[in-house]
Amino acid sequence: MLMLVSPAKTLDYETELPIQDFTQPELLGDAQELIDQLKKLTPVDVAKLMKLSDKLADLNVGRFAHWKQPFDQDNARPAVYAFKGDVYTGLDAYSFSKKDMKFAQKHFRMLSGLYGLLKPLDLMQPYRLEMGTKFENKRGANLYEFWGDTITEKLNSEMKKGEVLLNLASNEYFKSINKKTLNADIITPVFKDEKNGQYKIISFYAKKARGLMAAYVIKNQIKDVEEIKQFDTAGYRFSESLSKPKEWVFIRDEVDS
């Protein structure tokens, strides 16, 4: 089984790392090709392209300008410790043991507009480039056309035919995968919280729950996807009645205030 999550816009390059282990991203050649084109953009171009403030546009133009190989511990950081968003709050990689991280390296992947696909300990230099960005490049009109089948082929090389891909990524990022050529059974967990007597997807909670589920799988060394139905972190429980064969719904009751 392999788990997929989205990256985060917010980054953390300050917090002390709990380990010194790292690996290198395997699609750095593709990332370099993108960077070479992104470096030609002005702050005005970036602000318009990514709908950013002038301050954030300047920051990211600077990131593109300083991006360079080789990656080392002085200019980069393991991706799982670099991303800082709701999913990663739920994941809490800082609590992982060495055994947990070894399992995560094998079974957990992060999608990325710039890096394509990242393992937890893959070194990453700071960037902002969401997969849905309509950045015209030498391979096409946007990042989906840039990546084409590259990410899908990489996933296929890491999975046995018929293995389960646990999709904990957003629609924006999962669209970068060609489901027709992916040699895997896709299971997509959906997290719903009770509000006013109804179970609904509440974005903040759903994102954090994706990280919580990934951590549950990692810390329990789960390889049989059916065991995920026992997920009960933070009050969630599997709902047989609301679920479909490939879309598993987990619900959480509203807490009385």
pLDDT digits (tens, 9 = 90+) for 102-149: 999 999 999 999 999 999 999 999 999 999 999 999 999 999 999 999
pTM comes to 0.96
Domain boundaries, given as residue ranges, for the chain: 2-252
Nearest CA-CA partner of 25 in 76, 66, 65:
76
**Is residue 61 scored above 60 in pLDDT?**
yes
**Is residue 257 scored above 70 in pLDDT?**
no
Tell me, what amino acid is at 12? D
Q: Rounded CA gap, 147 and 175, in Å?
A: 11
Q: How far is CA 235 from CA 90, 193, 225, 256, in A?
A: 13, 10, 20, 13
Query: Which tokens belong to 168?
Result: 């904990």
The residue with greater pLDDT, 51 or 256, is 51
